Amino acid sequence: MLKYYLTLRRGGLVLFLFTGLFSVAYAQTPCSPVSTLSCDVLQVALPYSLNFNAAVAGTIADKNGQGIGFTTINPYSGTRVATDGTPSNPQVPGYEPSKITLTGGRLQLITNKGIDYQANNNLLNMLGIKVAAVKKLQLEVKIVNPFNSTQSQQGGLWYGLNDKTFIKLSITGNKVEFRKELNDVTSTAAGTGNPDQRVTPVISGLNNQTVTLRIVVDSVANTAEGFYSTDGVNFISTGNSYATTGLSIAGMGITDSIAYTGLYATHRNGTATVTYNFDDFSAVSIFVPDVPPPVFCGPVSTLPCDSIKVSLPFALNFDSAIANTISDKNGLGIGFRTINTYSGTRVAADGAPFNPAIPGYEPSKLTLTGGRLQLVTNKGIDYLTNNNLLNVLGVKVKTVRKLQMDVKVVNPFNGTQSQQAGLWYGLNDKTFIKLGITGNKVELRKEENDVASTASGTANTDQRITAVISGLNNQTVRLRLVIDSVNNTAEGFYSTDGITYTSTGVGYPTAGVNISGMGITSTEAYASIYATHRNATSAVTYSFDDFALTSINVPVIPQPQPSGAYLVLKNMDTFPADDQLVFSLIQTPWRRTSPDTTAYNANHDRVRLRIHNKGTARLSVSGLTLSNVSGWKIAAIGSDSTATLPISINQGSYAEVLVQFIAVDAATRLRIFHDTLTIASNDDAFPLKKVMLHGIWQKMG
């Protein structure tokens, strides 16, 4: 039988033609199993972009032999899904060109069932390029009208080392999901507690739009973040509702030297294939200036020092994680920015510090859950010289005229071993005030330089404590601490209904405690919550809610403006001084009648006092007050004996006051008087001016 033998070479493919029958065999592909191309052309220089408008020579081919621009196809390490059939090219098993079409300025990719997820590792047609690691890499692609269903059908961007270690950003069920996987391990936890996933809620109409996906891989910060945009201008992070918007990629090795990146699609749990339309793929190195990394604010925070201070009002409801704040045990930001350090000796039962650089921080005891912050206690406390309290969680604030602190404690533990929780405000573990619930009592206490009174009862100047409040441990208790910088006082309150607040100082001489000289109202302080099981052997869990800091408006009393009036006195006797008047009075005068008659003894019982206005504005005299009205009287103002106050004196003018000595029966023979006349006016320097009145009184002449 006649044989015809023809050899055709393309991409390593050798066809043997035998008498009209085709038999196919594959020679060794140059860069098996990741490409049909030579190994030396897989890595591309950045920036690199593909618009899919035309075929690109020397790249991976679609079903029609057109180069699509990509240079690699990830191999799979798992078991191929049976419905995906056998490999078209056993030397590059992840490559199925029949599902790839370059058409209409887009790259169409028909899905297979395989996926890279945990140990599945059987994704096909992961089309990509090989890139060198850079400080910050930005990857983008557009997906036109992405398929919307509920069987994990998805398409998007992929970046990593292989099908075991990678990150991917995809659209699935009208959500955008960013996920990382390291050595086939990725968390399946639900909600914002998942450290390996950042996923949006359902985005209505996403399947009818052109969606731009963007991954930013930051090799310096060891983070990666996923974004999406429906207009190509405004990009939204998939991690907006998480404590940290991105994922940590530390230790994954994907930024060390060489990695692969590209696009992928799968219909996963679906029974029918899906066609995804991709456009405008790009990989760009973003310039990152060499700057020193932010220094955390040890020993009081894991954050930079410039981020621990907050503006007022400030509130935390613990409903969701807050990015760039202190983290709980699951890495969720709890909203607080500081953790007090301790100056005393750590209690042995509290173990070694989780982070020696921030020794007061024990994240394993903190949980953001169910709209509350749960704090599991340690044994340490701030009391006198103990100074070993842990997890005092707070923020730094600038002092204000009056600060109100609020927090709810839900069903506070009722024990007899000084277990307690509440509000804390101060400078450090030596100088502070705290308002806590302990043994169904509410206690306000201050401490200055490790000194606090231990006196019992209302004699204790540093404590305000209630009696036992029945059933307090079964209620949501609102604590309120009011720090008054104007009056230098602090007062504690509690409420079980959120409406009526009762002071802890009821029954004490003063409701609040004196905070004068403590320094906690001078410039800046820390406002926090705390909890401890103190003398007990077992930890207690306290649940906090609705922490708030508010600056209460305190009206500033305006200082009186200078009047411009200037009071100057003139004693018209000119002796002994202008503010010293001398009088004499003989009650029964005497005279000689023989051999001749003389005049009666003369009295000097009236002195004229002039009040001058030497200022630049009108002088108002509002008071003429005599210290002894039985010895003296104002006989007249000017010539008017019935004149009333106030009197007004123009600039450069005066008013004359006639003062009269009127003592009667003051003694059996003689008495000396030293009294005063006080002149009240609007004189700026001396609004109360005293004039001395000296008088000699005689019974008879």
Q: Convert the pLDDT of each residue in 319-335 to its tens digit.
A: 999 999 999 999 999 99
Buried b (16+ CB within 10 A) or exposed e, 413-444: bbbeeebbbbbbbbbbbbbbbbbbbbbbbbbb
Instruction: Report percent pLDDT > 70 for the chain.
Output: 94
Kindly report, as residue ranges, where domains of CATH 2.60.40.10 are found in the chain: 567-700
- pLDDT tens per residue, range 569-618: 999 999 999 999 999 999 998 887 777 777 777 899 999 999 999 999 99
**pLDDT at site 20:** 34
Virtual torsion, Cα 530, 535, 539, 542, nearest 10 deg: -30
Neighbouring C-beta atoms of residue 543, cutoff 10 Å: 22
Contacts of 609 (CB under 8 A, 6+ apart): 569, 570, 571, 572, 581, 656, 657, 658, 659, 677, 691
CA distance 526 to 151: 50
pLDDT for 23 beyond 80: no
Across all residues in the chain, what is the average pLDDT?
92
Q: What angle do CA 562, 568, 570 make, to 5 degrees?
A: 170
What is the dihedral sign for C-alpha 622, 624, 629, 632?
negative
Q: Rounded mean pLDDT of 165-191? A: 96
Mean pLDDT value of segment 122-143: 96
With bands split at pLDDT 50, 70 and 90, how would you rate the model's confidence at 2? Answer: very low
**Architecture of the CATH domain 309-452+459-551:** Sandwich (2.60)
Order of all β-strands in the sheet with 21-26: 9-10, 13-18, 21-26
How sure is the predictor about 294, in pLDDT bands with cuts at 50, 70 and 90? Answer: low
Q: What is the pLDDT of residue 418?
A: 96
Enter the CATH code of domain 48-285.
2.60.120.200
Token couple for 682: 């609007």
Q: What pLDDT does 553 receive? A: 84
CA nearest to 113, candidates 142, 87, 152: 152
For 277-290, b/e burial (b = at least 16 CB within 10 A) is bbbbbbbbbeeeee
3-state DSSP call for residue 547?
Answer: strand
pTM score, whole prediction: 0.47
User: CB–CB of 63/99 below 8 Å?
Assistant: yes
Q: What span, in angstroms and rounded, lies between the C-alpha atoms of 598 and 578?
A: 34
Amino acid present at 680: A
CATH 2.60.120.200 range(s) for the chain read 48-285, 309-452+459-551
Dihedral of the alpha carbons of 495, 500, 506, 510, in degrees to the nearest 10? 100
Residue with token string 């007004």: 648
CATH topology of domain 567-700: Immunoglobulin-like (2.60.40)
Residues in Cβ contact with 578 at an 8 Å cutoff, skipping those fewer than 6 apart: 568, 569, 570, 571
Cβ burial 238-272 (10 Å sphere, 16+ → b, else e): bbebbbbbbbebeebebbeeebbbbbbbbbbebee
Amino acid (1-letter code) at residue 413: F
